[in-house]
């Protein structure tokens, strides 16, 4: 019968070799003093060749030599070895209160165990990569204050105010006509704020059908309604946790949803559709509208208490028609963007085009200007945009002599049928919007168009 108080060294060594984890021990210099056989087998080496060497010469991507310097443990750290993602634990080794080395473990006995585990975890890693890529692409702000171009005093005033409020946590209301760049301001405010490293989530309150808006904003639980995804779905508020939620076209939000939004802003918690428990959310709201919310409050179409909750900081963005001095600089910036999109270089505007653009009233503001330039680049053979490359409605008021100088001929240019139809379509939409005082839902009904199709056309024509 054994009477020894300690296990023999040979026993300890065999136990370590049979252990479920691979083990390596280094001294203060990072030299391997012990490595078990299972680890050596995976590394295609043996203890004779591994022991006595620096750990970096034996194990790729190791951090063991750093642990003996920092004295800080690293638990469940991902380490790539031979193309496999390992889960490694690293601990400083103290003897008699003195740091003498470090112990590292990998939680798999052999490569087959790891391969079996890898097959299980790989789909999870792929899903993680997908959502990370989606986050980087969709839930990050794309623009900063450097992208807000203009020297007009009112524009500069709006930009300075936006820069000042970016660092606060208060709600911001961006006011201005469609296409003035309200979303760019929202991007810039978020990017500069302390929340800039967290999600920036956008919601167009006008383009989402009324019966779907609640589930889009607050999410839903499994089985909440017919067609609900298994496991439920997070809403925009949950996706924007610790970041910013941009509510575009807030003036088109139905009254009953305004009440629910107000409660979320007050309580800082949401309830999913079909859910029973509240979920805490930390979200900053930036709202935007082209409507006169004060008038809507007086008419009972917008909740007064919600208006004051959103109106903490109001920023008015001026329309392009009063910023004609900024037009050329904005156009050049948009051309640089189009060069990247179409893989073109050296795009520019002729003097006649600049003159014509400055004569236009730009009801669709910067968005309309961008659409005009994109259309021109699509039909452009060289690098200089001329009058004939502009849409019909920008050509039709040009003096005949200007057309002659561009075409080098006495004949009136033939206008493509597509442009004629687009001009007629745009005029019809503009007339409907004037008739409904900017109410896009009502304008769509008057024109006999679906809501989604109508909003797509408005974006196309910069309305």
Q: What is the pLDDT of residue 407?
A: 40
Which of 75, 127, 78 is CA-nearest to residue 102? Answer: 75
Strand partners, 313: 172
Distances in Å between the Cα of 413 and the Cα atoms of 111, 230, 378, 403 are: 73, 58, 18, 8
What DSSP string describes 193-253? Answer: STTTTS-EEEEETTTS-HHHHHHHHH-B-TTSSTTPPTT-B--HHHHTTTSEEEEETGGGS
Higher local confidence (pLDDT), 309 or 85 = 309
Average per-residue pLDDT for the chain: 83
Cα-only R_g, the chain:
32
Mean local confidence (pLDDT), 364-393: 89
Contact 310, 173 (CB under 8 A): yes
pLDDT at residue 31 is higher than 70: yes
Q: What is the pLDDT of residue 403?
A: 43
Q: What is the pLDDT of residue 431?
A: 80
Question: What is the percentage of the chain residues whose pLDDT exceeds 70?
Answer: 86
Strand partners, 432: none
Phi then psi dihedrals of residue 340, to 5 deg: -70, -40
Q: State pLDDT tens for residues 228-242.
A: 677 788 889 999 999
Strand partners, 84: 81
183 contacts: CB under 8 Å, gap ≥ 6 = 202, 246, 248, 288
pTM above 0.85?
Answer: no
How open is the CA angle 242-245-247, to the nearest 5 degrees? Answer: 165
Which of 199, 200, 229, 224 is CA-nearest to residue 211? Answer: 224
Mean local confidence (pLDDT), 141-149: 85
pLDDT range class, residue 138, cuts 50, 70, 90 = low
What is the distance between the alpha carbons of residues 40 and 410, in angstroms, rounded to a whole number? 86
What is the distance between the alpha carbons of residues 399 and 460, in angstroms, rounded to a whole number? 27
Q: State pLDDT tens for residues 404-433.
A: 444 444 444 555 566 667 777 887 888 888
Please give the sequence-ordered ranges of beta strands (E in DSSP) within 271-363, or none if there are none: 279-280, 284-289, 313-316, 348-349
Mean local confidence (pLDDT), 51-77: 89
Written as six digits, the tokens of 367 are 């968005």
Structural domains of the chain, ranges and CATH numbers in brackets: 11-113 (3.30.450.20), 145-316 (3.40.50.300), 320-461 (1.10.8.60)
pLDDT range class, residue 124, cuts 50, 70, 90 = confident
Q: What is the pLDDT of residue 74?
A: 87
**Among all chains, which residue has been given the structure tokens 């920023």?**
315
Q: What is the pLDDT of residue 101?
A: 93
């Amino acid at each position: 019968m054994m009477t020894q108080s300690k296990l023999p060294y040979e026993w300890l060594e065999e136990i370590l070799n049979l252990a479920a984890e691979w083990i390596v021990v280094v001294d203060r210099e990072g030299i391997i003093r012990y490595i078990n056989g299972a680890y050596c087998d995976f590394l295609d080496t043996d203890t004779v060749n591994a022991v006595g060497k620096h750990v970096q010469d034996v194990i790729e991507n190791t951090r063991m030599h750093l642990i003996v310097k920092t004295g800080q443990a690293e638990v469940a750290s991902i380490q790539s070895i031979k193309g496999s993602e390992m889960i490694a634990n690293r601990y400083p080794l103290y003897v008699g209160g003195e740091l003498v080395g470090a112990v590292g473990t990998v939680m798999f006995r052999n490569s087959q165990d790891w391969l079996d585990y890898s097959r299980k975890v790989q789909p999870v890693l792929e899903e993680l990569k997908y959502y990370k890529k989606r986050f980087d692409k969709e839930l990050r702000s794309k623009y900063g204050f450097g992208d807000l171009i203009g020297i007009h005093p009112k524009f500069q005033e709006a930009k300075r105010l936006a820069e000042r409020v970016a660092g606060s946590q208060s709600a911001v209301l961006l006011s201005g006509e469609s296409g003035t760049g309200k979303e760019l301001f929202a991007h810039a405010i978020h990017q500069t704020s302390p929340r800039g490293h967290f999600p920036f989530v956008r919601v167009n309150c006008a383009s989402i059908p009324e019966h779907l808006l609640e589930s889009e904003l607050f999410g839903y639980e499994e089985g909440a309604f017919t067609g609900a995804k298994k496991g439920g779905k997070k809403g925009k508020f949950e996706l924007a946790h610790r970041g910013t939620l941009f509510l575009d076209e807030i003036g088109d939000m139905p009254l009953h949803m305004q009440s629910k939004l107000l409660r979320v802003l007050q309580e800082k918690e949401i309830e999913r559709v079909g859910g029973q428990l509240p979920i805490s959310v930390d979200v900053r709201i930036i709202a935007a509208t082209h409507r006169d919310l004060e008038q809507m409050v007086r008419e009972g179409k917008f909740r007064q208490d919600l208006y004051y909750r959103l109106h903490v900081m109001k920023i008015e963005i001026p329309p392009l028609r009063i910023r004609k001095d900024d037009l050329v600089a904005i156009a050049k910036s948009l051309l640089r963007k189009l060069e990247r999109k179409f893989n073109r270089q050296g795009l520019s505007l002729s003097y006649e085009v600049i003159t014509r653009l400055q004569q236009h009233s730009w009801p669709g503001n910067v968005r309309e200007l961008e659409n005009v330039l994109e259309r021109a680049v699509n039909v452009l053979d060289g690098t200089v945009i001329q009058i004939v490359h502009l849409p019909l409605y920008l050509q039709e008021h040009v003096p005949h002599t200007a057309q002659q100088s561009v075409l080098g001929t006495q004949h009136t240019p033939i206008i493509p049928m597509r442009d004629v139809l687009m001009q007629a379509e745009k005029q019809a939409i503009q007339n409907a919007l004037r008739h409904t005082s900017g109410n896009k839902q009502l304008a769509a009904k008057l024109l006999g168009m679906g809501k989604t199709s109508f909003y797509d056309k408005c974006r196309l024509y910069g309305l």
